Amino acid sequence: MKISIVGSGAMGSLFGGRLALAGQDVVLYDIYKEHVDAINASGLSIEDAATGEVTLVHPKASADPKAVADSDILIIFVKSTTTEDAAATFKAYAKPGTIALTLQNGLGNEEILRRHFGASGTAAGVTSQGATFLGPGKIRHAGKGPTHISMADGSQERLKSLAQALEAAGFETHVDSAVADMVWSKLIINVGINALTALLGVTNGRLVEFEETKAVMACLVNEALAVVKAKGITLTYPDPLAVVYDVARKTGANFSSMLQDFQKNRQSEIDFMNGAIIREAKALGIPVPVNEAITNLVRVADKMHLAAQAASATQAAAKKGAQP
């Protein structure tokens, strides 16, 4: 089975690396050429945050979209802000029967994949695994937890081989049918953790060390739960706030994806997380002031990061032009 990872940052490299280690035919695709080159030259280094053990694996890596042609599975890990472009690009390299699986954060990615791959070619899932990008060719496995996957058209049997491959790679995996409930259950966790870690510049575990941050987490989660109740969503756990705190503890050493975006001056996925809560709440007439405040702060930070990127690019161009 050929499994291609579209977006091989921290999480994509973790899944792709472990699948390759388990004997699967894996291609890691990413636009970050230094990362791709490092993997092809020296392999992918996966550090276990709990033990410090480092595993070296040698999957194929490429910055050429053609490398994923004829994949049985495309696991999508690009930032949600680029899902539309990625889906349009990689649909051209899919074969009949290819399944595009989103394990991304946030709400809305499955709908984008459905438009391009159709319901019969789309799967959605959530994972509690955590990873941190350390540098080209190097990641840290920072948190472990179950992964749930589901076909958009309900043909769950088609995911059996993938689930077995993921299990063999060390990822606890469940094939489920309640995909919307799963996505919302993961969204609640993202809403309670990601933006705060990014704004404060801390790992997940630091959030539960202070009563003040726990109080803000509670506000964010409780506002989101009002939306969940109004939409008739059934979460996969009985006590959402307790789960959010528990995930923060279990992935304590992890740098959230949004914090990693901040550290690299990249646009965040806030509009697919807390911003999604705002959109859904507005349609239902539900006030979510704390989510609005946090989202506005992240959006300002995004603008500052984009300005910093532009300034850096201008300086680099000027420096290059000044060279003899």
Considering only CA atoms, which of 155, 191, 190 is closest in space to residue 175? 155
Rg (CA), the chain: 19
What are the beta bridge partners of residue 149? Answer: 125, 175
CA distances (Å), origin 53, targets 45, 49, 114, 128, 181: 10, 8, 39, 20, 35
Residue of 2, 186, 229, 231 marked catalytic: 186
Q: What tokens does 130 get?
A: 């955590």
**What are the two backbone dihedrals, phi and then psi, of residue 3, each rounded to the nearest 5 degrees?**
-120, 120
Contact 162, 101 (CB under 8 A): yes
Angle, to 10 degrees, between the axis of helix 179-200 and the axis of helix 274-284? 120
In the block, tokens 């790992």 appear at: 203
> Is 186 one of the annotated active-site residues of the chain?
yes
DSSP states along 217-244: HHHHHHHHHHHHHHHT---SSS-HHHHH
Rounded Cα distance, 129 and 38, in Å: 24
Continuous H helices in 154-238: 160-168, 179-200, 211-231
Cβ-based neighbour number of residue 318 at 10 Å: 9
Rounded Cα distance, 110 and 102, in Å: 7
DSSP states along 72-94: SEEEE-S-GGGHHHHHHHHGGGP
What are the beta bridge partners of residue 45? Answer: 56, 138
Catalytic annotation, residues: 186
